[in-house]
Amino acid sequence: MASEFTLALLRTTQFASLAIILVMAVRKPLRRWSGAAPAYRVWLAVPCVAIAAMLPTTTVAPIHAAPVLRSIHTLAVRATPVAPDGVDVLLVVWAAGMAAAAAWFGLAHRAFLRQAGRLTPADGVYVSAAGAGPASVGLFRPRIVVPHDFRLRYSPLEQALIVFHEQTHIARRDAVANLLACAFQCVFWFNPLVHLGVRFFRLDQEIACDAIVLRHYPRRRRAYAEALLKFHVDAPFAGAGVNCQWHIQHPTKERLMNLQPTPSGTVRRLAGRCIATLLVAGAIAGTLGARAEPAASAPSYAVAMALEAGGERSAPRVLARGGEQFAVASGAWRVEMTVREAQMPGTVWVMSRVLKGTDVVSAPTLLARLNEQATIKAGAGDAAVTLSLVVTPQP
């Protein structure tokens, strides 16, 4: 059980890493063309791909397996090692690392609350006794926390913009998304791409939130930029955790550069949503397709027959695929036949129906050896039918 889980974790890591690389490649072009919201939504591809990578393997017909997907599947199979004898030790190491990562996030959240100190409600926000905030805190009862000098450091306009920014986080339930991102980091703590991806995910989250604020206050870009620059340089930094913090350690320069008018036009914004949705769906489909095992093609057989029925003789020869029905006829007689591979090596099952007109005379089934003659007889007298056949496998 432990070895299967470990290999599944390694396989999921491979596909999740590919998804992170894909999202990091498309996020900026997508943001420039259609706005910040689609660039943020496309991060949904990463957890969806991880879930798809953990689903049971399916089989597809060889004709439906795209060559690129077969190549990815082969690469994934070769990259996933065979379970070693010490895989239980690896599982213990992974569990210890996950517990340590979870403890780090818990301590970071506790450090933020300790830094905030006592919270005093005032005009819809909570004023901390120290320099914590601005931030939105809490999953079930979210609150906006501002530093003790909030009203002195920021102008009334900047205060309104900051509060609206944090209200947007709460309305979009960004804290839940951050909690899931933290859980993803805990599970894949050993993968540096996951931690890098979460960093850019949090940045895209803030940029998308900035875009919503500026959509409501299109003429307040300068004031918003000035508010971004007024973070508390003297306050000790506490880890972000699940909180949505105004002065979290983002590349502030990139946030400022993205305080530009969002792409105009409903069509372009709708197209951006469609592109993000297609990218997520395509990543899921690609993962499922890459993991699908090509179904083994049915073997082919050459069936050489000698049919004697109603005084007439014929020697048909048929090339048939295993499991597919074929038929031969002579006068009023008709023989329907199916050849299937048997479990015993060198043998096949021959299932047949002998018909005269529309009446079924007999339905014999026999186990025949490959390359050896087998005979089927049905009826008696004038209604006798004899069919001799030799089944030869084809390459």
Same domain, 335 and 196: no
- Contacts for 249-256: CB closer than 8 Å, 24+ residues apart: 250/202, 250/203, 250/206, 251/203, 252/228, 254/203, 254/207, 255/203, 255/206, 255/207, 255/210, 255/228, 256/225, 256/228, 256/229
Domain presence at residue 133: no
Same domain, 47 and 189: yes
Domain presence at residue 170: no
Same domain, 288 and 305: no
Same domain, 212 and 328: no
- Does 240 score more than 70 pLDDT? no
**Residue pair 42/23 in contact by the 8 Å Cβ criterion:** yes
Same domain, 95 and 212: yes
Same domain, 227 and 375: no
Q: Each residue of 145-182: pLDDT tens digit?
A: 998 889 998 999 999 999 999 999 999 999 999 999 99
Question: Tell me, what's the pLDDT at 238?
Answer: 47
Question: Tell me, what's the pLDDT at 116?
Answer: 82
Q: 229, 246, 228, 225: which is closest to 237 by C-alpha? A: 246
Q: Each residue of 268-322: pLDDT tens digit?
A: 778 888 999 999 999 998 888 887 766 556 789 999 988 887 777 888 898 988 8
Q: Each residue of 47-59: pLDDT tens digit?
A: 999 999 988 876 5
Question: Tell me, what's the pLDDT at 231?
Answer: 63
Question: Tell me, what's the pLDDT at 232?
Answer: 43
Domain presence at residue 286: yes
Domain presence at residue 70: yes
Domain presence at residue 132: no
| Residue finishing a domain among 293, 326, 343 | 293
Report the percentage of the chain scoring pLDDT > 70.
82
What is the band of 63 on the pLDDT scale with cuts at 50, 70, 90?
very low
- Does 82 score more than 50 pLDDT? no
What is the band of 65 on the pLDDT scale with cuts at 50, 70, 90?
very low
For the whole model, what pTM was predicted?
Answer: 0.68
| Residue finishing a domain among 293, 328, 351 | 293
Domain presence at residue 165: no
Q: Each residue of 32-42: pLDDT tens digit?
A: 888 889 999 99
Domain that holds residue 27: 2-116+177-293
Which range has the worst mean pLDDT, 251-260, 319-328, 365-374?
251-260
Same domain, 182 and 286: yes
Domain presence at residue 226: yes
Same domain, 8 and 99: yes
Domain presence at residue 243: yes
Total structural domains within the chain: 2
Same domain, 20 and 54: yes
Which of the two residues, 209 and 359, has the higher pLDDT score? 209
| Residue finishing a domain among 272, 293, 314 | 293
